A and B are shown apart, each in its own frame.
Chain A
């Protein structure tokens, strides 16, 4: 994960900005997937998914589908 993205995630945690946490972790997951690191991608998507669930964020279903695809969620 880039230094910049990591800083943004830490900042969003500090601000309890759950909506931003969804999009930032989603992005981190995509980058890890592009790098071929599926474990890391699923780790980030799990975080994105949980915050999306909490906020009823529209990305919820897409994140769920990705995790299911990789056998990480039911």
Chain B
């Protein structure tokens, strides 16, 4: 039976959170996979993962085989990693495509832009054309993608509004940060596997309520009242701080600032979730992104990436920064895993929100519920049309 979303879509004062089924029922997980993750712009990977022309990397997203590829024209594209002939997986490990992508089965070849360029023996041995094989209609299936802050977002269903439209307010809000963000490299990325539904990682990230309890270290210099909620209902949510302090080494060095920032960012910083699954941090001297990869109903990989204003930052300081963030994110692990376990309590009703503190969380639940409602309406219209 479909879950009741009406309680979630109430005003925060009277709303409950999403019910347990949204965290523990495989049927609801399937529904959300389509309604919330495939029909939206989900974070897939970073463009830094294919740094050089011709780099190709296979990536799976909720079981969908995809290929991340930087063409010889320096454009990063995402394709279904599937041959148009018999559906063979085209690229099974990261590699450089020197010329064409050759299918390992019958050797159909695709260009770096996905065009089908050769179909060996398709008209019989030594005959490489056939009147029924129209190469122009048999290129690789490209998945709509958009890169922002080096994150590759994909719309797997292919029918979402353009990313710039969906996220117009957020792009505007952070436009001062539009200067290049350089990935810190191998020492600036790590993955935390957590036993939780991906949504709980979003919920925990969006709110500042937990900071003094879970991150007392952070909070010794950053009190609860130094933070503010960010809730754009129907769009995004998160938190901001007025007391961001730059990391320094013993000599007092700091990372260089992103160019052209206004004064408010001297001590201001913001932490926002790009719904559904990308957690971003914007600060004067570095940014970060956490791409949540849901690998199962109750398992998520948190892929963390740190970014700087310069390609050339101090090695030691950068390593120190990675350690600091890793500690913070690790402090959150027991909470998101604990809430997942808590969702098996049959009498838990989705929870009561603090109207003062929990609006970013409710904002997210409300958005998830709205996506599911739209999806259910579409499904219903489809089945009525079929009758």
**A interface list, Cβ under 8 A from B:** 39-43, 45-47, 49-57, 60, 67, 72-74
When distances are taken between beta carbons in the complex, the residues of chain B under 8 Å from A67 are 128
Mark interface residues in B116-127 (1 if CB within 8 Å of A CB, else 0).
011011000111
B129 at the interface (CB under 8 A from A): yes
CB distance from B111 to the nearest CB of A (A): 9
Q: A53-B102, A54-B102 are in contact. Are A39 and B109 (CB under 8 A)?
A: no
Number of interface residues of B (CB under 8 A): 17
CB of B232 closer than 8 Å to a CB of A: no
Q: For residue A56, which residues in chain B have a CB less than 8 angstroms away from its CB? A: 98-100
13 pairs, CB–CB < 8 Å, chain A vs chain B: A43-B121, A43-B125, A45-B126, A46-B128, A47-B120, A50-B107, A54-B100, A55-B98, A56-B98, A56-B99, A72-B126, A73-B128, A74-B129
Residue interface mask B123-164, A partner, CB < 8 A = 1? 001111100000100000000000000000000000000000
How many Å lie between the Cα of A45 and that of B129 in the bound state?
14
A36, chain B: closest CB distance, angstroms: 14
Chain A facing B: main interface SS: helix
Interface residues of B (CB under 8 A from A): 98-102, 107, 109, 117-118, 120-121, 125-129, 135
Known contacts A53-B102, A57-B99, then 13 further A-B pairs from the complex at CB < 8 Å, ordered by chain A residue? A40-B126, A42-B127, A43-B125, A45-B126, A46-B120, A46-B126, A47-B120, A50-B120, A53-B109, A54-B100, A60-B99, A73-B128, A73-B129
User: Residue among B102, B127, B128 with the most chain A CB within 10 A?
Assistant: B128
User: Which residues of the other chain, A, contact B100 by a CB distance below 8 angstroms?
Assistant: 53-54, 56
- Cα of A73 to Cα of B123 in the assembled complex, Å: 10
Q: Which residue of A lies closest to B119 (CB)?
A: A73
Give B129's nearest chain A residue, CB to CB: A74
